[in-house]
Structure formats: structure tokens, C-alpha cells
A and B are shown apart, each in its own frame.
Chain A
């Protein structure tokens, strides 16, 4: 059982939905970012998605693009992102950390070496946007073998014929992308999402978490009502981007978490 499995078992036992928060590692700089990340569990975050900055984030909107640029300009590297996880693990042994990003920095490091380092840093899962099931031999299968969850995205364009393929080799949870689009763009609609989540849940026992387009405690609540949890990224990153202090950012996160936990 991974930390992710344990977390969902615990949430289920308490009758709670999951609140997942995304931040870009190293944004705006390593120290500030670490302070925010360390505060996330206390603000009610059940799972941390730690963004790995990349120069060419093709699936991200302006907010997360700029966050990646800030992090890279601040000197963030893959080593530092792994170090953030190591630091968090010194004070928190239960909150799952999922690294999210693009394949090239991992491929550049070397898949085996990366998996070893991620495992040692206390990483629990990976979301790699540009690795569909068709490329499973690249990272998905080696990651599962190394004991890391590989969390796949399902999207509105993943039709019934394709869904089984997406669910095979997925572990931890399924991340349903609520919109066809990039992060931080359209607003997620619980009405559209509900039947899609049901469609996926009919085919898997894994929890289904919904992300993209959730910006307020109210939306977090309405999405959590129809899924196993909600992810918020851009809305948090935007506050970091405009220069909010870690305390202010965490206060905002607390509101979102309360929204998701209110149902």
C-alpha cells in the first residue's frame, strides 16, 4: 500500500473527499516555495502535487507557464525539486507527494536514476502530461515496478472505447481533466463532470479526482460532491505569482480545502 492508497483509505473511513493542491516547485524561489509546501498539510491539503518546472509546458496556461519561468529563473533544478520533497518528509510522513510535469527532464536524468532518486526523496506518484498509454514502456511501467504510483489523466475526449486502455496501468487515483483545454482556462462545471466521473467509476475501483478549472471554495465543493476529490492549481499559483506571502497563500488554500471537505 502506497501513501496514496493509505490516504484514500483514511479519507473514505472518515467519509471525506480529497483536496489536492498543486504548486510549482521553486516558485518564486526555493525557500519561499518550501515554506509554502511545508504549510500545505496544515492548511488541509490531503495530497500535494509538486510541479516540476519545464521550459515548454504545452498543456499549461499562462499562470503555470509563468510560474515555471519564475522557478527556472530562480535556479530551480530537478535536484532541488527532489530536495524539497526530502525536506517535507522530515516533518510529514503521511501526506502523499505527486510530482507533476513533462517527460524531458526525467528522460534527461535517466529513468532508472530518476525513479531511484524520487523514491529516496519520498515521492509517491507521478503525473507526466506527455506520456499517454501508448508510451507506457517509457516511464509508467518502470515507475510501477519501482513502487511509485503512475497517475493517468482521463479527459473529455477519452471515449468508452479508449477508457480501458487509459485505466490499465494506472494506479493511486485517476485524474479526470474537467475540460478540453489547458490549465487555468475555463471554469469546471459540476454538471458536466458528474456523468463523466460516473462513467469512469463504472470501469475502475480507483478514486477519481477532478482537476482543471477549479478556482474557488464553492467550485471545489461542487466538484467534490460528484467525485472523490478536487485539485486546485492555477488559482493558488496565481496568488504566489502576484506576490502573496506564504501565510496569505496558505490562508487561501485553507478556504479551498474547507470547500472540498464541506461535502
Chain B
């Protein structure tokens, strides 16, 4: 269908790394040559069958892909509406979708002869995934993590250290993901020659947003054939839903469906204490405006003078004042819809998933689930929702216990 090609939502970014006005390469000159060589290396790898063969082998035998597409029957009955499927990326090795992308970047780093890997992390899942793959390949790994997140994600900090990574707590700013990313960029600019920066989401300068999306797209590709297998040839989901911090698990689910107009796409941002002018949330699309940070133009939480605001969320993985540039574009062109969910709603969904399905979700996908809870009852029984269960909740039990008033020192 030539019309589809012309109207495709899947051709971005352009040669300047732009999705419409979003994206780009807003980095210092020191980093620019590296970013160009990374782009060249990635372009080569993308069409190199040996690269993908290595990825697929590791995805299968090391990560445990494909992750199941699970029909959540009790949840479906409970809400009495749409049929709910969960894409079980929380069953991946290391407990989240993050490793899908890390494998790709580390294989690239090896191809580029880089021996030192740095990463930023919020919830610690990307840090753990990076530390894991570095351990597997014998690479030096340094993870920057906001001091506030070091505290609220303690189990992941210990996991990273066990895996041989050096975890550097970042005290600038409020000590969350944004600040960790600043310090990772400072490290990179200082150690350009031997260091590879493994970014954990679909943000940063081009080619990161496109590259991370491509690696995470395995999620949506699997959903396509898995749903066809369970629901019949050609059956597509009616609605796909994912939580958004930077937006990598969401892009991974969404991308393979962008050109299927019947598929309704919903991204769920962290509403924190509520999206209003107190700005105690992380809903960049709902409550922000376009700006430039961390190498790309995108929607950002900022004040009138262009200073970046800190944001707020119970979920360390969503606690970021920006969002990947492709989401900003999908938002502006209207291909995807973006909503927000508060801390309280996410906590409720967290508990419901435990009780109804025996799945302890991470706080990040709990936000997506909370939105499923809102819409499922209003939809007919033949409406299929696929939600990305992108992480497991082991890392969050301390935070949740605190919020539920449960004493962990039993």
C-alpha cells in the first residue's frame, strides 16, 4: 500500500536526528565526534546479520526472550470490560525491559573497542542491567545514580555492587535521574576516548532515541505474533498501554504498531501528587513545554525562564522532567495519547496486581495498570488491551511498605 508508506509514522528520525522539531544533537563539541562515530557504527550494525544474530542468541539464552504475553483472566473478570493482556517483560533476566537495550549497546561498545561503560540510572533497573551485561563481558562499569534514588532503591544499589559495578551517588540537584544523567555526561566528556555511554531510555542526542527504540522494539514485535497466535491470525490489539519515564518500554511496545491505525496507543506519565501548578509530578507532555536538555529538544518541566524543574514521583524510574523526543512528536501529531496517573492510583494498581494475578509489578508499570483499571470497565469484552508489564516490583517493596505503613523489620 503506497499510501501507507507516504503516511508512515515509522520513518523517523530524519538525517539530523529530528522527529519533527524534536530530537537533534544538542551536545558540546567534545562529544560531537563520538556521537557521529556511534551513529556510523550503529548504521553499520543495523544491516549486519552477525550483529542481530548475536543479539538474538543473547536475548533467547541470556535474557529469556520471548517474554510471555499473558491473558490476565482474573483482572479481566474483575473489571468486567476489555480483555487484558500483560506483556511480561518483568520476567526478563534482571527484572525489567532495560536489558533488551543494554545488550545492543554493549555489543556496539565492544565493536567500537570501548572498555569502560558508564550509565545513569533512576530506579536502578538500567544500572543493574548494565552492570550485569558488563560482568558477562568483563567490562568496567560505572553507574551514576541520584543520591535520593540510592536511598529509595537500596536493593538495586547492592545488586550493582555485587555485579562489580561502581555506583556513584549524585548529590547535585534533588539527586534523581536528571542529575545522574548530568554527571554521566560530565564523565563522558572527560573520558571520551575509552568510554561508551550506555543511555537507559529513548532520550539523549541522536542516535540514542532511535537506537534504544530499535532495541526495545522487540517487545512490540513479539506482541504482534503472540497475539495472533492466541487470538487468531491478523488480530491486532485494540489498545496498547505503557508507562513512561523517558519512554523506552513504551516506544518498544508502540513502534511496531505506529502504522496500524486501528491500534489505539496510550502512554502513561507519572502524575505524582497531581498534575497542577504545584509541579509535583513528572508529566512532561501534560504539564511541560518544549525545551532543550540532555542533547535533545523535547517537552520538559521548566519555569518561565527556561530553568528545569525537578518533578516528583513515587517511582524513581519515572522521576524525570523530560521525555523521549519521539513521544513529543507522536503527541503533537496526535498518533498517541498521553495521560497521567498519580502516586496514589499507582499504589492501588500495584496491590491489585498482586492480589488478582499473583504478579508483583514495579511501580513504573503500576502507573500503566492504573490507567487500564480506569478504561477497561468502559470497554466491550471484545476489545483487547495489551499493557507492558515492563518490570517486577522486588526493588519497590521497601517503598511500598513505607507508604502502606508496614514495618519491614518483622
Contact = CB atoms under 8 A, between A and B. Distances in A.
Interface of A: 54-62, 65, 72, 77-78, 102-109, 129-135, 152-159, 162, 166, 177, 180-182, 185
A125 B408 CA distance: 58
Interface stretch (B48-56, B57-65, B303-311, B372-380): B303-311
A180 B29 contact: no
B399 interface: no
B25 interface: yes
Interface string B170-191: 0011000010001001100111
Contacts of A130: 26-28, 292, 295
A162 B33 contact: yes
A56 B293 contact: yes
A72 B307 contact: yes
Given A77-B305, A166-B29, A185-B190, 9 more contacts: A58-B28, A58-B189, A78-B306, A105-B307, A107-B297, A109-B305, A135-B25, A157-B29, A180-B30
Contacts, number: 115
A104 B33 contact: no
A107 B306 contact: yes
Interface residues of B, number: 36
A55 B292 contact: no
Determine chain B's interface SS by DSSP, over half rule: mixed
Contacts of B24: 134-135
B20 interface: no
B192 interface: yes
Contacts of A166: 29
Interface string B146-177: 00000000000000000000000000110000
Given A131-B26, A155-B30, A157-B34, A108 B295 contact: no
Contacts of B295: 130
Task: Name the 6 nearest CB pairs between A and B, nearest first.
Answer: A108-B306, A105-B306, A181-B190, A155-B30, A130-B26, A132-B32
Contacts of B26: 103, 130-132, 135
12 contacts: A59-B189, A65-B172, A78-B306, A104-B306, A130-B295, A132-B32, A135-B24, A153-B30, A155-B30, A157-B34, A180-B30, A185-B190
B403 interface: no
Nearest to A72: B307
Contact of B307 (A54, A59, A134, A154): A54
Question: What is the interface of chain A mostly: helix, strand, loop, or mixed?
Answer: loop
B186 A132 contact: no
Contacts of A62: 172
A243 to B, nearest CB: 21
A152 B402 CA distance: 51
B291 A108 contact: yes
Contacts of B28: 58-59, 129-130, 132, 153, 155
B32 A107 contact: no
Given A58-B294, A59-B28, A157 B33 contact: yes
Q: Taking each of B26, B189, B304, which has the highest tally of chain A beta carbons within 10 Å of its own beta carbon?
A: B26
Given A54-B307, A58-B185, A177-B29, A104 B178 contact: no
B11 interface: no
B292 A157 contact: no
A177 B294 CA distance: 20
Given A104-B302, A153-B28, A55 B173 contact: yes
A56 B178 contact: yes
A109 B306 contact: yes
A102 B185 CA distance: 14
